[in-house]
Structure 1
């Protein structure tokens, strides 16, 4: 099968599908991987095997779904998208920043089954089906596994082969388009959001799943309203009384560990925490499910250095001792009620029998929005539907994040040079440098207090944010976007200029003219620059005119091949 499938199309969505089983002598082992030619490093294999099984202390019986995140050891790609396929680069250009794929990380989506089986020496059947993908589409892949894994457990490896055949027929993951993804007799219908879609409609309220059937269709259609949105209310319900503090911790990239009894609880909680600052992209590391066997275990647990900016989800009680020095610890219990009461100091955490709650010495810069908490509590008392509770939370947090980011976006826009000052005879200008003191001076007149009802020390929160990786990555991304915009405007200015060729080349040597031609030609071919086709054509005409002023031998060399 491997030789006939266009695996580049398959890998536009999924890196591979694997099966991990428990060997009595070897422990967790990689039983099967599809496509079979996919190569995982020894480090990746080890992480995948250990992370695909719940910790032995979890006691998961039946079927359990959760997800993890690992470094892609086979590439040195960075957050800019290096080493990504053309399809994934195109996807990143259209989707919201928070949903962009990383070049050096993969997500693993796991469906684990543990049932008693007297015929086995261990007495239990233990096996996981997992999907490795770069996409943060938690809801989509969980639903795919709900169909794929039980079919595999009942009918064997042919099910995965059939699923792979279906997947290579899928359309490319293009944001803004309704995509129909057939798999094993069901069509998953999804819409990957675009930035424009989010601005127009806001984030979907909940990842509702609707199954539709029609006499004219041969397969049922499962519509997934959101491929990525977590159920905020359900995931964060136990710690909702501290939601604004948690938002600050995530916003500023503080190290957080989530301790939970089950892998799905800690994974979903980590995913929900990251989404609290949506649509801002969380740029620090995060591991929804983390074990003592992870190859990054030593890096993240050493006590000789401060904890790095990362959110870890763990289930092994051993971490209560190992991560006792971490500044922010969230303990999730068995029930889903809201834990009331004051924050617990992190230094007072007990090793194995700590009560659920938030353990931290952090002093928030912003006050709680008691009206939000009151609305949520009243909704619980009146048994308001969970999706409505999630919608209330999501809208509130998204508005809070946008109120925080709008002054930064406005200030960054003020650093752009005026278009009238862009000259065709000079190089493309650059944005002026970001000066924190100058920005802070704008807060009185245009700060977040104008759009948010929450009070507090906003300036202090901005100063802490400036020291985080979330700010540095946001600023670097915005600076690159601004630079591309100015390059595009500069090219438009050159295209529209009435260039007097002989006057322009007077006083310039041939090397300078050739260099100008080569640079301009290179910019014309760069598809990421925001210029229209008519502008490219005019620029090409300018190049041809200047090219004719050069000696014949140079013209021959510079003619495009």
Structure 2
């Protein structure tokens, strides 16, 4: 049996160092094939079809489960029987988590999905402190401190209440067993926090502030935000039994297989979850996000279109800046706002890979603060979500600032200055960017109307916005995939390679920029550029981005794999 251990002092023996200047690319699954991959004359594995939803169902083992629609041919995991609803109050300064045990086989199953659930409390002397993690997880003191500060908002958002947000921290390279800490996937740990604040007369501050944080290696914001929103209120009401039950529920889940649609039982609910084939896949199934979760998408509540209300007419410029790996400072009134917005922008980029660092929520206490925020030009592709007005002053030299929320009418801002949030006023501010592509004015009117409408209209507009930029990301790649198809070895070249046993592996011919632009001039692009000169300049810029380099490497890997398979079949 493994026993949780709250002591972090014994973790300081490791002298591992991290190069803060290096930025690794997030890619949980690098072998999957995105929808925009090359159209080859070989048989590639087809992408999974859209799941059809059928009639509602009940759970034979847990009749109390919430009834939701069930897709056909799903993997099924049931929730375990509920533990007695006994409220356990943690003693002051401790979470009580050290009394929980977990078997090694259960631990291994839990770790397929999460690293652990952290309980973070506010200490009057030390600030936010990790009071325990279950299952027990090896963390360096600096990692624990990073998680603690990022799990709390920078400033109070309400008198009493709760909110969910997410963050991403760089993971240290450690030489320890996988039982203490699973091996990294993309070099980052993702945190999904449920922060709550309620009045407590026994506290010196008059409030109890606590965050419950799912720590994971999987960049699945929609999934883990849903888990956090279910778990947080139940833990607040019933204490540690909910934590133990939640982890045992997760242990019953099937493996997180790329491309699978699974049914996950969790604390009396059943979640239908669609996992992407790879990190850069577009999850296009249009569904009710409450009953069918697209794991890698941004959370859909509140409707994302509201985040960009003050910048609706600039969304095409914002998309271009994200594609061109331009650094953007994203300012919001809460971590919930910034994390949802950054995951949304990352989602709109698919199937183009992200080559820069993304931080859904970032504070001055982050260990990477001096590396990411300094007097030097910001790093390429950096998306930084902040709420502290300090960043407005320290990032004056950044080229782009996106401030989330509704535009404040000038007369309102002057008359009610006490109600205006600190920081830049909502809207899009850029020093250098000039738009290349045309806006969709029909969609823009729909978005503007939806922001004044009801919830259903806002959700519908959010889906329309998502489809629109998914389409534009695909259209951007069409001229490139067309040209790359000319670089694939011909059947005669393949046959010649088979006869020459000394030749190396078959691969794409080298990418030639001049040849690509000649092809672009002849065939054009379906992406509606404002002029042919702007089209040429846009592609010239994109071919110089690290994102293009990653995309090209992925296509070469796909082609080389298919060619090898073809040779193996014919030999």
Aligned partners of 2:159, 2:364: CA distance in 1, in Å? 18
Aligned partners of 1:10, 1:357: CA distance in 2, in Å? 42
Aligned partners of 2:466, 2:178: CA distance in 1, in Å? 31
Aligned partners of 1:293, 1:53: CA distance in 2, in Å? 11
The one-character-per-residue Cα deviations of 1:105-152 (angstroms, maximum 9, x if unpaired) are 121100000112111112111000010112222222122122211121
For residue 556 of structure 1, what is the aligned residue in structure 2? Answer: none
* Pick aligned residue for 2:429 from 359, 365, 369: 359
For residue 226 of structure 2, what is the aligned residue in structure 1? Answer: 143
* Pick aligned residue for 2:134 from 34, 58, 63: 34
For residue 442 of structure 2, what is the aligned residue in structure 1? Answer: 371
* Pick aligned residue for 1:179 from 242, 249, 262: 262
* Pick aligned residue for 1:119 from 185, 202, 206: 202
Higher RCO structure, 1 or 2 (CA under 8 Å, sep 6+): 2
Aligned partners of 2:161, 2:453: CA distance in 1, in Å? 33
Matches within 5 A, 1:16-415: 16-36=116-136, 38-56=137-155, 58=157, 61-74=160-173, 102-194=185-277, 203-205=284-286, 208-210=289-291, 223-224=292-293, 228-231=297-300, 232-333=304-405, 336=406, 354-361=424-431, 362-380=433-451, 383=454, 385-415=457-487
Aligned partners of 2:375, 2:366: CA distance in 1, in Å? 17
CA 1:353/1:478 → structure 2, altered by over 3 Å: closer, same or farther? closer
**Secondary structure class of the residue paired with 1:119:** coil
The one-character-per-residue Cα deviations of 1:93-115 (angstroms, maximum 9, x if unpaired) are xxxxxxxx952112110000011
Deviation at 1:447, TM superposition (A): 2.7
Aligned partners of 1:269, 1:339: CA distance in 2, in Å? 23
Gaps of 5+ in 1: 77-82, 90-100, 211-222, 341-350, 496-561
Aligned partners of 1:185, 1:257: CA distance in 2, in Å? 39
Gaps of 5+ in 2: 1-100, 411-420
Matches within 5 A, 1:508-523: none
* Pick aligned residue for 1:452 from 502, 527, 538: 527
Aligned partners of 1:32, 1:402: CA distance in 2, in Å? 44
**Secondary structure class of the residue paired with 1:6:** helix
Aligned length: 445
CA 1:389/1:454 → structure 2, altered by over 3 Å: closer, same or farther? farther
Deviation at 1:29, TM superposition (A): 0.8
8 Å contact kept, 1:206–1:387: no
CA 1:265/1:339 → structure 2, altered by over 3 Å: closer, same or farther? farther
**Secondary structure class of the residue paired with 1:442:** helix
8 Å contact kept, 1:107–1:133: yes
**Secondary structure class of the residue paired with 1:130:** strand
8 Å contact kept, 2:117–2:214: yes
* Pick aligned residue for 1:478 from 532, 549, 555: 555
**Which structure has the larger Rg over C-alpha atoms?**
1
TM-score (norm 1): 0.73
For residue 113 of structure 2, what is the aligned residue in structure 1? Answer: 13
CA 1:60/1:470 → structure 2, altered by over 3 Å: closer, same or farther? farther
Aligned partners of 2:451, 2:366: CA distance in 1, in Å? 39
More helix per residue: 1
